[in-house]
Amino acid sequence: MLLKRLTEAFGVSGCEAQVRDIITEEIKDCGGNFNVDSMGNLIAFKKAKKENAKTILLSAHMDEVGFIVTDITEDGYLKFATVGGVDPRILISKRVKVNDRCGVIGLKPVHLTTKEERKKTPKEKDLFVDIGAKCKEDAENVVLKGDYFGFDSDYTEFGNMIKAKALDDRVGCLIMIEMLKKEWDVNLVCTFTVQEEVGLRGAKIAAKGICPDFALVIEGTTCNDLTSVPKNLRVTKCGGGAAISILDSASKADKEASGMLINAAEKRNIPWQYKASNAGGNDAGAISLLDGGIKTASISVPCRYIHSPVCVMHKADFDSCKKIVEGFLEDCGGVTDND
């Protein structure tokens, strides 16, 4: 299954090659053109058969959150810093993969902690990675300072749900792959971007000069529909359909573009929901400001436990997101009037 391959691939920000190679293999026979720019963004273009067709940009990022080695101790443990937004509370005892070597994020055992230590959330500086090395020299046969590594987590389906790392944003990448395999009455440009998790860096370059009529950013977004959270504070709901964002910390959705997304969903009876929070941001924050301003909107698949090794999504939400994007492209398929 393609989503399994995409999510299990290593792709911490700045190290997206494995993900890019999978995508390139999938789209090479789609009938369009593609190239990789100097930052590592993969840009695919599929021209419409009609003249004067609209140009639509779809964008999703290939990178995931992860870690970088900052030091190797004399007894062979790895000290690290996080790459992207990772909550230290979720790190203890998690499996990681360091240059194909299994590792575990460790902490002093509870039996040896003081009462005061047990009251506090461990900080990043208190944690370490155990890769089974007996000393610094042994560890350096596997890893060096400055190497990146990521979570080690298998793709698993349970009931109507999927658990995997990096659903943010391999779900968006998969939807764009599927769009490129179809024929549209629009000029379709898909940017598979790098380094979104560390400042929307790839999108600032990948989308420059395209000047589309509309841009859609396809994402995995936060979902906190947990029992302890009041309903009025739940950002999105698993199983409630794709989430359409109006405002976040990086951008404000273009009213026309977001309205077209909603209309595409409503007239096809596809379930959808608003993202009920302005926290977070995505590549729309960069794309919307390029080339004098681009009409940009965001549509996302709700993901529980995002930025962790156990992100969880509902299969129906993925289908909803894909179908709404398809509807949007269909609705944009009319010929533009250049007179």
CATH assignment of 67-151, given 3.40.50.150, 3.75.10.20, 3.40.50.300, 2.40.30.40? 2.40.30.40
From CA 66, how far away is CA 148, in angstroms rounded? 7
Q: Where are the beta strands (DSSP E) in the chain?
A: 33-36, 42-46, 55-61, 66-72, 78-83, 95-98, 101-106, 128-130, 148-151, 156-158, 161-164, 187-193, 214-223, 242-245, 272-274, 296-304, 311-314
Tell me which of 26, 64, 196, 326 is the catalytic residue: 196
41 and 205 in contact (C-beta within 8 Å)? yes
What pLDDT sits at residue 334?
64
- Write out the DSSP string of 61-120: E--B-EEEEEEE-TTSPEEEEEESS--GGGTTT-EEEETTEEEEEE---GGG--HHHHHS
* Paired tokens of 149: 């590594």
For the chain, give every domain's residue range. Answer: 2-64+165-331, 67-151
Q: Which class for 189: exposed (0-12), middle (13-18), buried (19 or more C-beta within 10 A)? A: buried
Calculate the CA dihedral of residues 330, 332, 333, 337 and round it to 10 degrees. Answer: 170
Question: Which amino acid does the sequence have at 154?
Answer: D
137 is catalytic: no
What pLDDT sits at residue 335?
52
What pLDDT sits at residue 124?
87
Residue 63: how many CB atoms within 10 A of its CB?
28
Q: Which helix (H) or strand (E) holds 259?
A: helix 255-267
Query: Which SS3 state, helix, strand or coil, does residue 204 take?
Result: helix
What pLDDT sits at residue 130?
97
Distances (CA, A) of 2 to 8, 20, 103, 155, 246: 10, 13, 26, 11, 30
**DSSP category for residue 197:** G
CATH assignment of 2-64+165-331, given 3.40.630.10, 3.40.640.10, 3.40.50.360, 3.30.70.980? 3.40.630.10
* Paired tokens of 196: 């979104």
* Paired tokens of 317: 């939400």
Ranges of the chain whose pLDDT falls below 50: 336-339
pLDDT tens-digit map of 256-308: 999 999 999 999 999 999 988 777 789 999 999 999 999 999 999 999 999 99
Phi, psi of 28 (to 5 degrees): -65, -25
Please tell me if the domain spanning 2-64+165-331 has the same topology as the one spanning 67-151.
no
What pLDDT sits at residue 232?
73
